[in-house]
């Protein structure tokens, strides 16, 4: 099965990654898909999470993503495609598993908070919630470290100062 860019965009909107939908039925469907996505993210390899975060959640350009991961644009695109396919496959398998309910934030929410955590724009409550989650979730702890390394590797996105925000 091959998903078109359009179909992928619909899925991203449905999952709440892109613009929020006003329709309550669409929101209920989106919530359901978000739960599936959360569970699927737990199953994915770090490499897949990484590229999906950069390209689909942070919405970096293809060139930026390729640079950050040290790949050619073509290699980045094919890795992204494989990661999306594995995410979809994992979503199907994850329906049986279900996301962890004990944590205040879901893994997907933590992934979405990471950029804000990195640039310190997260509220104090959000920061605590992310840290609490990462303290208990090995997958997110590993991913968070890898993400921090990636940010440091790209000076323009680094937060050591000098960007003049």
30 part of the interface to Zn ion, by CB under 5 A: no
Q: Quote the CA–CA distance of 69 and 48 in Å, as a whole number.
A: 12
Stretch that binds Zn ion, among 83-91, 105-113, 119-127, 146-154 (CB under 5 A): 105-113
Q: Which is nearer to Zn ion, 61 or 145 (CB)?
A: 145
111 part of the interface to Zn ion, by CB under 5 A: no
57 part of the interface to Zn ion, by CB under 5 A: no
Site for Zn ion, residues 125 to 144, rule: CB under 5 A: 137, 140
Count of residues near Zn ion by CB under 5 A: 3
- Phi and psi, residue 90, nearest 5°: -65, -35
Q: How far is the CB of 52 from Zn ion (least distance, A)?
A: 14
Among 107, 113, 129, 130, binds Zn ion (CB under 5 A): 107
């Amino acid at each position: 099965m091959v998903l078109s860019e359009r179909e992928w965009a619909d899925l991203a909107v449905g999952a709440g990654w892109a613009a929020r939908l006003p329709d309550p039925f669409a929101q209920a469907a989106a919530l359901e898909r978000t739960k599936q996505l959360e569970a699927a993210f737990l199953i994915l390899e770090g490499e897949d999470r990484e590229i999906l975060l950069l390209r689909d959640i942070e919405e970096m350009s293809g060139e930026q993503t390729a640079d950050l991961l040290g790949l050619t644009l073509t290699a980045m695109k094919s890795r992204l495609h494989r990661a999306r396919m594995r995410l979809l496959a994992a979503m199907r398998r994850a329906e049986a598993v279900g996301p962890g309910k004990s944590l205040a934030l879901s893994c997907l929410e933590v992934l979405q908070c990471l950029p804000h955590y990195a640039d310190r724009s997260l509220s104090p409550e959000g920061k605590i919630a992310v840290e609490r989650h990462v303290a208990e979730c090995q997958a997110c702890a590993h991913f968070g470290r890898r993400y921090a390394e990636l940010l440091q590797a790209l000076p323009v996105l680094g937060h050591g100062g000098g960007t003049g925000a």
